[in-house]
Amino acid sequence: MLDSTRFRVPPGSEVNLSAYDPDSSDGFAGGKNEGEEALPDLNRRLAELQSRLWAESKQRLLVVLQAMDTGGKDGTIRHVFKGANPQGVEVRSFGPPTQMEMAHDYLWRIHPHVPRNGAITIFNRSHYEDVLVVRVRELAPEDRWRRRYQHINDFERLLTDEGTAIVKLFLHISPEEQRARLQARLDDPTKRWKFREGDLEDRKLWAQFQTAYEEALTRTSTDKAPWYVIPANRKWYRNLAVSSILIETLERMDPKFPEPGMDLDGLVVV
């Protein structure tokens, strides 16, 4: 496992993404082959802890995944949660808000999807879009989206106070890696369905999105709901890093299988 503290954004620190190497594989002595060989053991450990969490049904874990386009959110979910019980793991994606959602405050559509007791919920994009896309695309006045950092901190404090652990992961890739991944989508007929014209428009706004991410990471990494910046150019290292963080989080939560409601000693099924 990797030490999760190397990725954690300390509360109160100012984030400069240029200081984070998206190609990094620090903390792991091997290369890609060794990294891929190490992942199944982490999968099994994560699945074991997730089973305990589900059986205990007292605690909850919210995983927030954010990244630039092609950053690897889907791949992370697919590889990291391999072997987990799908009954206790939910994935929720948040696209552009519907007319009904826009008729309410911006967190209205988020709250119903936070995890229930025993569950792990993964937000594939999240409430942070309202200080990222909304900011870069100028979909709301600056005085409005700037207030949202505090709203988000208050919302997440509510969740943690009520028993939800929160892990927020920014998958950090380089513009060169994004270009290669976008081109790979175009070149592979089985992946062209993932490509959308807006990907190229967002790519032109790379610098603006980086600035938006830097402020979001700076303003909303807290002790109870920390951000982690994950080097994500190397997919195998990304998977090891995310797995390690989630395992460490669940180990701190220390879920336990509940005791049976009756004395089962000597009971024989016939």
Q: Rounded to an integer, what is the distance from CA 214 to the centroid of its chain?
A: 16
Partners of 155 in the β-ladder: none
The total of structural domains in the chain comes to 1
The beta-strand segments (E) located in 114-226 are 120-124, 164-172
pLDDT at 144: 97
263 in a domain, yes or no? no
131 in a domain, yes or no? yes
153 in a domain, yes or no? yes
259 in a domain, yes or no? no
Kindly give the parts of the chain with pLDDT less than 70.
none
269 in a domain, yes or no? no
- In this predicted model, what pLDDT tens digit does every residue of 15-32 receive, in sequence order? 999 999 999 999 999 999
Cβ neighbours, 10 Å, residue 166: 22
Q: Domain of residue 242: give its range.
A: 4-253
Question: Residue holding tokens 């509360």?
Answer: 11
Are the C-beta atoms of residues 240 and 35 closer than 8 Å to each other? yes
DSSP state of 149: H
Q: Is the dihedral angle over the CA atoms 100, 65, 72, 133 positive or is it negative?
A: positive
36 in a domain, yes or no? yes
Query: Which pTM value belongs to this model?
Result: 0.94
265 in a domain, yes or no? no
Residue 67, domain CATH? 3.40.50.300
260 in a domain, yes or no? no
DSSP state of 259: P
Give the residue from 24, 31, 38 showing the smallest Cα distance to 173.
Answer: 24
